Amino acid sequence: DAGVIQSPRHEVTEMGQEVTLRCKPISGHNSLFWYRQTMMRGLELLIYFNNNVPIDDSGMPEDRFSAKMPNASFSTLKIQPSEPRDSAVYFCASRPDPTDTQYFGPGTRLTVL
């Protein structure tokens, strides 16, 4: 099993640019989560989906952030426009069923200059 796949692994961009992070969950998993990790705030939940439907997006910082899950095998997290304070490691995780653990991808390290 390939595990959760994220791309890119590293992204460096300039303030104001659009950034798109991608995630492929583990096949058969029906929940997908986006987290952000920084030294200041630790691991923060941004949004999660059950069966491709967004359930809780209360962690999305502001309207500059949006997430989609068009099918069971793909999700994107988009930041437009990006700002330096968005610099962080973004993790995607998936879960096979509602009472099981979450499996994390390797993360995307985003740097906004």
Partner 1 sequence: GESVGLHLPTLSVQEGDNSIINCAYSNSASDYFIWYKQESGKGPQFIIDIRSNMDKRQGQRVTVLLNKTVKHLSLQIAATQPGDSAVYFCAELGQAGTALIFGKGTTLSVSS
If you count them, how many residues does the chain have?
113
Determine the size of the site formed for partner 1 (CB under 8 A). 25
**Residue 48 lies near partner 1 (rule: CB under 8 A):** yes
Restricting to residues 16-35, which ones interact with partner 1 according to CB under 8 A? 31, 33
By CB under 8 A, name the one of 1, 41, 63, 71 that touches partner 1. Answer: 41
| Tally of CB atoms within 10 A around 23 | 25
CA distance 79 to 77: 7
**Residue 53 lies near partner 1 (rule: CB under 8 A):** no
Pairing of β 108-112 and β 88-95: antiparallel
Restricting to residues 62-101, which ones interact with partner 1 according to CB under 8 A? 91, 93, 98-99, 101
